[in-house]
Amino acid sequence: MRGILLFIYFVVLSFTFVFAQQTSKNKWINQHIQTDSFNVPINSSTYYFPLESFYNKGKNNVKISNYLDTWYSKMLYALNEPLLYNKLEEKEVYRFTWLRSAKNPVSIRIEKDNETIKLFLKVSDGESISNPGKLITNKNKILSISQWNTFKSKINKIRFWTLPVEEIKSIGKDGSEWILEGSVKDNYHFATRWSPNEYNLLLYKDCCKYLITLSEYNLPSKETP
Protein backbone atom coordinates (compact mmCIF):
# COMPACT_ATOMS: atom_id res chain seq x y z
CA MET A 1 0.00 0.00 0.00
CA ARG A 2 2.79 2.37 0.93
CA GLY A 3 4.53 1.64 -2.38
CA ILE A 4 1.35 2.48 -4.32
CA LEU A 5 0.94 5.76 -2.44
CA LEU A 6 4.55 6.71 -3.15
CA PHE A 7 4.05 5.87 -6.83
CA ILE A 8 0.93 8.08 -7.02
CA TYR A 9 2.78 10.86 -5.19
CA PHE A 10 5.64 10.89 -7.69
CA VAL A 11 3.25 10.73 -10.66
CA VAL A 12 1.30 13.74 -9.32
CA LEU A 13 4.55 15.56 -8.53
CA SER A 14 5.89 14.93 -12.02
CA PHE A 15 2.62 16.05 -13.60
CA THR A 16 2.62 19.20 -11.50
CA PHE A 17 6.19 20.00 -12.55
CA VAL A 18 5.42 19.47 -16.23
CA PHE A 19 2.24 21.52 -15.97
CA ALA A 20 4.16 24.31 -14.26
CA GLN A 21 6.72 24.25 -17.03
CA GLN A 22 3.99 24.34 -19.67
CA THR A 23 2.16 27.27 -18.15
CA SER A 24 5.10 29.30 -16.88
CA LYS A 25 5.25 31.52 -19.96
CA ASN A 26 1.51 31.77 -20.62
CA LYS A 27 1.01 34.31 -17.85
CA TRP A 28 3.21 36.82 -19.67
CA ILE A 29 1.48 36.58 -23.04
CA ASN A 30 -0.43 39.76 -23.86
CA GLN A 31 -2.50 39.74 -27.03
CA HIS A 32 -2.75 43.53 -26.91
CA ILE A 33 0.97 44.05 -27.53
CA GLN A 34 1.40 45.08 -31.15
CA THR A 35 4.52 43.86 -32.93
CA ASP A 36 5.83 43.58 -36.47
CA SER A 37 6.54 40.29 -38.26
CA PHE A 38 9.83 39.94 -36.32
CA ASN A 39 8.07 40.44 -32.97
CA VAL A 40 9.61 43.91 -32.52
CA PRO A 41 7.17 46.21 -30.67
CA ILE A 42 5.45 48.86 -32.75
CA ASN A 43 4.93 51.08 -29.72
CA SER A 44 8.18 52.48 -28.30
CA SER A 45 6.73 52.48 -24.76
CA THR A 46 6.22 48.68 -24.74
CA TYR A 47 7.94 46.91 -21.86
CA TYR A 48 10.51 44.32 -22.96
CA PHE A 49 10.29 42.60 -19.57
CA PRO A 50 7.10 41.65 -17.72
CA LEU A 51 6.96 43.96 -14.73
CA GLU A 52 5.65 41.17 -12.51
CA SER A 53 8.89 39.24 -13.02
CA PHE A 54 10.85 41.82 -11.03
CA TYR A 55 10.86 41.76 -7.25
CA ASN A 56 8.07 44.13 -6.25
CA LYS A 57 8.41 44.26 -2.49
CA GLY A 58 7.53 47.65 -1.06
CA LYS A 59 6.91 50.96 -2.76
CA ASN A 60 10.57 51.71 -3.34
CA ASN A 61 11.20 48.47 -5.21
CA VAL A 62 8.11 49.03 -7.37
CA LYS A 63 9.65 52.33 -8.45
CA ILE A 64 12.96 50.59 -9.15
CA SER A 65 11.20 47.93 -11.21
CA ASN A 66 9.43 50.52 -13.34
CA TYR A 67 12.65 52.48 -13.78
CA LEU A 68 14.66 49.41 -14.80
CA ASP A 69 12.04 48.06 -17.20
CA THR A 70 11.69 51.47 -18.86
CA TRP A 71 15.46 51.83 -19.13
CA TYR A 72 16.09 48.34 -20.53
CA SER A 73 13.14 48.59 -22.93
CA LYS A 74 14.26 51.95 -24.31
CA MET A 75 17.66 50.49 -25.18
CA LEU A 76 16.31 47.27 -26.73
CA TYR A 77 13.74 49.17 -28.78
CA ALA A 78 16.49 51.40 -30.21
CA LEU A 79 18.41 48.21 -31.04
CA ASN A 80 15.33 46.97 -32.92
CA GLU A 81 15.24 43.79 -30.85
CA PRO A 82 12.25 41.45 -30.56
CA LEU A 83 10.32 40.64 -27.40
CA LEU A 84 11.20 37.25 -25.93
CA TYR A 85 8.43 36.66 -23.39
CA ASN A 86 5.18 37.22 -25.29
CA LYS A 87 5.07 34.27 -27.71
CA LEU A 88 5.21 30.49 -27.51
CA GLU A 89 7.96 29.34 -29.86
CA GLU A 90 9.83 26.13 -30.50
CA LYS A 91 13.23 27.78 -30.96
CA GLU A 92 15.55 28.36 -28.01
CA VAL A 93 16.76 31.94 -27.58
CA TYR A 94 19.16 33.72 -25.23
CA ARG A 95 19.99 37.41 -25.26
CA PHE A 96 22.71 39.38 -23.51
CA THR A 97 22.12 43.13 -23.26
CA TRP A 98 25.17 45.12 -22.24
CA LEU A 99 24.56 48.65 -20.97
CA ARG A 100 27.83 50.40 -20.13
CA SER A 101 28.07 53.88 -18.65
CA ALA A 102 28.63 56.44 -21.44
CA LYS A 103 29.17 53.66 -24.00
CA ASN A 104 27.14 52.29 -26.90
CA PRO A 105 24.30 49.89 -25.99
CA VAL A 106 24.97 46.33 -27.20
CA SER A 107 22.73 43.30 -27.62
CA ILE A 108 23.88 39.81 -28.57
CA ARG A 109 21.19 37.23 -29.27
CA ILE A 110 21.78 33.54 -29.92
CA GLU A 111 19.02 31.34 -31.38
CA LYS A 112 18.71 27.63 -32.05
CA ASP A 113 15.91 26.84 -34.48
CA ASN A 114 15.97 23.09 -35.17
CA GLU A 115 19.50 22.49 -36.50
CA THR A 116 20.22 26.13 -37.39
CA ILE A 117 22.10 28.20 -34.80
CA LYS A 118 22.45 31.94 -35.37
CA LEU A 119 24.01 34.81 -33.48
CA PHE A 120 22.80 38.42 -33.87
CA LEU A 121 24.92 41.42 -32.88
CA LYS A 122 23.38 44.88 -32.62
CA VAL A 123 24.95 48.16 -31.50
CA SER A 124 23.50 51.66 -31.43
CA ASP A 125 25.49 54.91 -31.57
CA GLY A 126 24.16 56.54 -28.39
CA GLU A 127 24.99 55.88 -24.78
CA SER A 128 23.52 53.31 -22.46
CA ILE A 129 22.18 55.46 -19.65
CA SER A 130 19.75 57.82 -21.34
CA ASN A 131 19.92 58.24 -25.12
CA PRO A 132 20.55 55.01 -27.05
CA GLY A 133 20.75 56.74 -30.42
CA LYS A 134 20.18 54.85 -33.64
CA LEU A 135 21.18 51.39 -34.80
CA ILE A 136 24.62 51.35 -36.44
CA THR A 137 25.58 47.66 -36.30
CA ASN A 138 23.26 44.83 -37.30
CA LYS A 139 25.11 41.60 -38.06
CA ASN A 140 24.35 37.91 -37.87
CA LYS A 141 26.37 34.75 -38.31
CA ILE A 142 25.91 30.99 -38.24
CA LEU A 143 27.36 29.15 -35.24
CA SER A 144 28.49 25.55 -34.93
CA ILE A 145 26.86 22.99 -32.67
CA SER A 146 30.10 22.93 -30.70
CA GLN A 147 29.84 26.66 -29.98
CA TRP A 148 26.21 26.24 -28.97
CA ASN A 149 27.05 23.36 -26.64
CA THR A 150 29.82 25.38 -25.01
CA PHE A 151 27.41 28.23 -24.39
CA LYS A 152 24.75 25.89 -23.01
CA SER A 153 27.28 24.38 -20.62
CA LYS A 154 27.92 27.88 -19.27
CA ILE A 155 24.17 28.49 -18.96
CA ASN A 156 23.86 25.26 -17.00
CA LYS A 157 26.78 26.13 -14.74
CA ILE A 158 25.08 29.32 -13.56
CA ARG A 159 21.76 27.45 -13.20
CA PHE A 160 20.21 30.19 -15.27
CA TRP A 161 16.60 29.05 -15.09
CA THR A 162 16.57 29.26 -11.29
CA LEU A 163 18.87 32.27 -11.01
CA PRO A 164 17.32 35.13 -8.98
CA VAL A 165 16.41 38.19 -11.03
CA GLU A 166 18.19 40.30 -8.41
CA GLU A 167 17.36 43.89 -9.13
CA ILE A 168 20.08 46.48 -8.75
CA LYS A 169 20.64 47.26 -5.11
CA SER A 170 23.02 50.08 -5.89
CA ILE A 171 24.15 51.55 -9.18
CA GLY A 172 27.54 53.21 -9.40
CA LYS A 173 28.42 56.12 -11.62
CA ASP A 174 30.80 53.91 -13.56
CA GLY A 175 30.05 50.36 -14.47
CA SER A 176 27.70 48.33 -16.61
CA GLU A 177 24.46 46.42 -16.49
CA TRP A 178 24.65 42.77 -17.64
CA ILE A 179 21.18 41.48 -18.56
CA LEU A 180 20.73 37.86 -19.61
CA GLU A 181 17.41 36.54 -20.95
CA GLY A 182 16.26 33.10 -21.99
CA SER A 183 13.23 31.86 -23.91
CA VAL A 184 12.55 28.24 -24.77
CA LYS A 185 9.13 26.93 -25.81
CA ASP A 186 6.86 28.12 -23.01
CA ASN A 187 9.52 29.22 -20.52
CA TYR A 188 10.98 32.70 -20.06
CA HIS A 189 13.43 34.00 -17.51
CA PHE A 190 15.96 36.80 -17.08
CA ALA A 191 18.61 37.93 -14.65
CA THR A 192 20.44 41.22 -14.28
CA ARG A 193 23.71 42.07 -12.56
CA TRP A 194 25.53 45.39 -12.14
CA SER A 195 29.25 45.12 -13.00
CA PRO A 196 29.55 41.44 -11.97
CA ASN A 197 33.12 41.36 -10.69
CA GLU A 198 32.62 39.63 -7.36
CA TYR A 199 33.89 36.06 -7.02
CA ASN A 200 30.40 34.54 -6.85
CA LEU A 201 29.42 36.26 -10.12
CA LEU A 202 32.40 35.28 -12.25
CA LEU A 203 30.56 32.36 -13.88
CA TYR A 204 27.71 34.68 -14.80
CA LYS A 205 30.16 37.15 -16.29
CA ASP A 206 32.01 34.36 -18.13
CA CYS A 207 28.75 33.20 -19.73
CA CYS A 208 28.03 36.70 -21.06
CA LYS A 209 31.65 37.25 -22.12
CA TYR A 210 31.49 34.11 -24.23
CA LEU A 211 28.71 35.71 -26.28
CA ILE A 212 30.87 38.81 -26.74
CA THR A 213 33.66 36.57 -28.00
CA LEU A 214 31.35 34.70 -30.38
CA SER A 215 29.97 37.97 -31.74
CA GLU A 216 33.47 39.23 -32.58
CA TYR A 217 32.45 42.63 -31.26
CA ASN A 218 35.56 44.82 -31.42
CA LEU A 219 36.34 46.58 -28.18
CA PRO A 220 39.16 49.01 -27.38
CA SER A 221 41.64 47.22 -25.13
CA LYS A 222 40.72 49.43 -22.18
CA GLU A 223 37.08 48.28 -22.49
CA THR A 224 37.80 44.57 -22.53
CA PRO A 225 35.49 43.07 -19.87
Structural domain boundaries in the chain: 50-223
The reported pLDDT for the residue numbered 146 is 98
**Given this model, what pLDDT does residue 169 score?**
56
Angle at 65 between CA 62 and CA 66, to 5 degrees: 90
Q: Which residues of the chain have pLDDT under 70?
A: 1-24, 31, 55-61, 167-173, 219-225
Per-residue pLDDT tens digits for 73-124: 999 999 999 999 998 888 999 999 999 988 999 999 999 999 999 999 999 9
What residues contact 212, with CB distance under 8 A and at least 6 apart? Answer: 96, 98, 108, 219, 225
Contacts of 118 (CB under 8 A, 6+ apart): 110, 111, 140, 141, 142, 143
This prediction's pTM = 0.84
Instruction: Enumerate residues 6+ apart whose C-beta is below 8 A from 109.
Output: 81, 93, 94, 95, 96, 119, 120, 122
pLDDT at residue 62, as a whole number: 72
If one counts every other C-beta atom within 10 angstroms of the C-beta of residue 95, the result is 23
Please tell me the distance from the alpha carbon of residue 173 to that of residue 35, in angstroms, as a whole number.
Answer: 34
DSSP state of 206: H
Q: What is the pLDDT of residue 207?
A: 97
CA 112 to centroid of chain Cα atoms = 15
Strands 176-185, 116-124: pairing kind: unpaired
Backbone angles phi, psi at 67, to 5 degrees: -65, -50
Supply the pLDDT for residue 85. 93
The CATH-assigned architecture of domain 50-223 is 2-Layer Sandwich (3.30)
**Distance, CA of 116 to CA of 217 (rounded, Å):** 21
As a whole number of angstroms, the distance between CA 115 and CA 182 comes to 18
3-state secondary structure (DSSP) of residue 117: strand
pLDDT of 4: 38
